[in-house]
Chains A and B, each alone.
Chain A
Amino acid sequence: MDYYLQQLVIGLSLGMVYALVAIGFTLIFGVLNVVNFAHGEVYTIGAFVGLLIFVSFAPPLVVVLLVVLAVGAMTGVGLERFAFKPFRRFNDEATLKSRAMREATLMSSLALSIVAREGIELFFGSQFQSLPLKHMLNSPIKIGPVTIVDGDLIIFGTSFLMLAGLQFVLKHTSVGLSIRAVSNNPLGARYVGVNTDRTIAWTFAVGSGMGAVAGILVGLYYGAIFPAMGFTPGIKAFVAMVMGGLSSIPGAVVCALIIGISEAMSSIFVSSVWQDLVAYAFLIITLIFFPRGIFGGARERV
């Protein structure tokens, strides 16, 4: 029983990380109807930036997280500027929704992600970067019969705060309202005075900031930071987005938690090397039985 509880806690914190990454996908898909394939690299960049700061200044964790958030946001804005904006020369509805648009940005974001990954590898090498042990988030905490590490709590807490912050931004600020307006109807938004280009840049900033923080949190948790680290969580977050119905934030968060918990629980039945298959199984099931996502049915998408 204790083991199950323990796995549940691990699964929750894992799921929260996937949720942070999935939100970036979801927000961007919402405003542009495209998938940002460089999102996994934003996560990697977050981890490396955090690592550099830790090694050179060793500031408190909160400071590191804030810096990573800011750097992630800037990375997102840069990414949008180079991989997405050049393809938005025409703003009529047919162009914005065209397949050509989707495929072009798919290729450009994929290209940029390869450049980023190889760039990091060139600079740091492809091996694992180890964090100084004292910064790692793995001091055990005993709660009754269950032993978890402080990293679980920190990941869960930080992610929870960020999700709450995101809800606040989306519901109570003009930027959030503009993001929601643009994802509802980009042309309508333009005609009521919303600067769509700036809103799209903000969307990338918010989504990428959260993805970058997820990267450093995981880096601190597992102590393993390497250039290709963004791939697996990227895929899982992508699955969560698809399961959640592509552009629903609550859907993506719930599905990310489902994936995280299922992965942690699966280690009860199978060897942990099979863990990664859980997400793919979910993806296949979703695509066959819920092509509009588990929560996508209620939401209209044009």
Chain B
Amino acid sequence: MKILTHPTSSVDSTMMFIFVAAVLTMPIWLTPIGAAYPDLMQRFVIFGLFATGFNILFGLTGYLSFGHAAFLGIGSYTAVWSFKLLGMNPIPAAIFAVVVSGVFALIIGYVSLRRSGIYFSILTLAFAQMCYAIAYSDLIGKFLGINLTNGETGLRVLADDPRIMDGVLTSGIDTSALTVNLFGLDLTHTWVWNGFQFNAGFYFCAFVLIIASYIAMRIFRSPFGLMLKAVKTNQNRLNYTGVNTKPYTLAAFVISGMYAGLAGALLCITDPLAGAERMQWTASGEVVLMVILGGMGTLMGPMLGAGIIKFSEQKFSTWGKPELHEFLAFIPDGIRDTVVSVASLFVGSGWHLTLGLVFMLIVIFLPGGIVEGGRRILMIVTGSNRRNRQIQAAAQAAE
């Protein structure tokens, strides 16, 4: 069984090293494709983290949650409340976000994991939509008589919030600008060197992502991770042999919920505003797309998927007919207008059509996602024999 053979630790170390180097040099190698500005790079990293966490549940156990955006939102609201009450330091915000989203994940997971398959998915979706509705209309806040989520307007840090630790931790540094600072280092600060933008907030997120991916890798390689893979392969058989799988799946659910909460906190650390819309079901669906597009159950796939989706969102959603005309300038004039008017359906607000098409193609022809595509190409290049490839493909399908 190829699926169970662990890559050696030296392979993992090499992969981790390449990954760290790639993340840290993003401001440089993303410049040629016009993606090297702080906001987008932060998104790559944050959604990469979100997808990595989601993959621990979906990729390893096969439980498909349609409600992970709820934890993203809960993490965001917790982080902003931490800013409001404790001060503009990202570390307590991140810790509280992880703890609170973990508690919510425990409750939602405990109930939802009583079922599996489609019923599990629907339960998580229902919980997430409930969370969304509660946050959007600030139902708990109205009940308690306080402004908990600030509804549609979104929760922000205000000048007259207590922020009790701001004076203590960062004495002498004025924090009335209401941007997040790490013991005085303003995370919105960008160092510019030769035109490359090195943003403090991006490196904070990158640092968190690197630690989180290392933890994810250890989970993948641990006996616990093996148990989760066993759940995915055949949960019934495990139950018959007397193994209680529920603690394992619940633990995976809570861990991935905590990753989502951390990603939510990072969204607020780079931009201290929490809106209810990031809890909507479309956000939950997006992370599923990221994981499948990149390659579920693989270590780097989800991060690739997140990067590709966020990149195309930024590019295609801002395109219009003028950009298309420029892009398709090589086509003769007469035909170009027709081509452009057809293609314009797939950009701008219609870019989801493009995403849908790409997703369909991936699912049909490349069920293992981009990572599988990469493997196939690698095998063609290195000239592995056909039989080997078939085994690999079979293993992928079983995953």
Say if A and B assemble together. no
Name A's B-contacting residues (CB within 8 A).
none
